[in-house]
């Protein structure tokens, strides 16, 4: 009976983590879309939806704390529980960064962006793909896939560095438009951090599967 309950709770934890990742993914896409379209309503929806993400994250943490009390877990289960706790924190932080982007979308609603948004949507697309694929690696216990996914963070870093240089030059040459350029720099930085969190998830998956801690970003 205890074994069955333990297995049920374990599956529940995994399913909730997948749900959390989908919510965070939607928040990232929604916040960047709001920035592109000057859509305050969409930005506000992202901000409002963060409460539900926080609640689900707290539920996952509670379930993880309860699992060892049901049955003494074997080493692999212990690694999975630790990995889930870390993954949960990374996804929750990604959602917080999406909220920060949504707030910038609201703050810049009435201002025309100083340059077309090209790098920012690409960075968001890569980050969302990384999150989806990292959770696929988690569900399949596939450390090789996790290693490959983490490499894509270099693409985000390169796009961030390129955009940051362009915006810095623009701010020097156009002091009157520093505000919007600074906001776009912050958005790019938030997306770069989201990519780092996706890489962290890959590290957690690798540890869960192999028992070895690795640094992938």
- State pLDDT tens for residues 93-118: 999 999 999 999 999 988 888 888 99
pLDDT number for residue 186: 97
Task: State the pLDDT at residue 7.
Answer: 73
Domain ranges of the chain: 2-210
Amino acid 73: pLDDT: 67
Low-confidence ranges of the chain (pLDDT < 50): none
Which CATH architecture best describes the domain 2-210?
Answer: Up-down Bundle (1.20)
pLDDT number for residue 1: 59
Q: What is the dihedral sign for C-alpha 18, 53, 133, 213?
A: negative
What is the C-alpha to C-alpha distance for residues 28 and 121, in angstroms, rounded to an integer?
A: 10
CA proximity to 83, closest of 60, 66, 103, 99: 60
What is d(CA 102, CA 94) in angstroms, rounded to the nearest whole number? Answer: 12
Query: How far is residue 212's CA from residue 170's CA, in Å, rounded to a whole number?
Result: 45
Q: What angle do CA 54, 56, 61 make, to 5 degrees?
A: 95
Residue 147 Cα distances to 21, 37, 181, 206, angstroms: 19, 35, 34, 8
d(CA 65, CA 31) in angstroms, rounded, equals 32
CA 194 – CA 177 distance, rounded (Å): 26
pLDDT of residue 2: 59
Closest CA to 7 of 50, 92, 67: 67
pTM recorded for the entire structure: 0.93
**Model pLDDT, residue 195:** 97
* Residue 62: closest CA among 41, 88, 36, 80: 88
At 153 the pLDDT is: 97
Q: For the segment 111-138, what is each residue's pLDDT rounded down to a tens digit?
A: 888 888 999 999 999 999 999 999 999 9
Q: How far apart are CA 29 and CA 101, in angstroms?
A: 10
Q: What local confidence, expressed as pLDDT, does residue 65 receive? A: 86
pLDDT at 12: 87
Rounded Cα–Cα distance for residues 201 and 130 (Å): 9
**SS3 per-residue string spanning 28-72:** HHHHHHHHHHCCHHHHHHHHHHHHHHHHHHHHHHHHHHHHHHHCC
Per-residue pLDDT at 87: 97
């Amino acid at each position: 009976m205890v074994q069955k309950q333990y297995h049920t709770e374990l599956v529940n934890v995994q399913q909730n983590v997948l749900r959390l990742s989908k919510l965070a993914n939607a928040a990232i896409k929604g916040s960047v879309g709001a920035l592109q379209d000057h859509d305050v309503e969409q930005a506000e929806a992202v901000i409002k939806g963060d409460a539900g993400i926080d609640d689900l994250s707290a539920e996952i943490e509670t379930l993880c704390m309860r699992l060892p009390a049901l049955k003494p877990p074997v080493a692999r289960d212990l690694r999975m529980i630790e990995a889930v706790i870390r993954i949960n924190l990374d996804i929750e932080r990604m959602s917080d960064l999406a909220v920060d982007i949504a707030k910038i979308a609201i703050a810049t609603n009435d201002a025309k962006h100083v340059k077309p948004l090209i790098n920012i949507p690409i960075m968001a697309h890569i980050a969302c793909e990384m999150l989806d694929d990292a959770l696929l690696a988690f569900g399949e216990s596939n450390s090789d896939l996790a290693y490959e996914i983490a490499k894509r963070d270099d693409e985000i870093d390169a796009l961030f560095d390129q955009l940051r240089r362009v915006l810095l030059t623009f701010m020097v040459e156009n002091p009157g438009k520093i505000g919007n350029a600074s906001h776009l720099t912050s958005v790019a930085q938030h997306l770069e951090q989201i990519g780092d969190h996706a890489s962290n998830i890959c590290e957690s998956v690798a540890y869960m599967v192999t028992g070895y801690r690795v640094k992938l970003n």
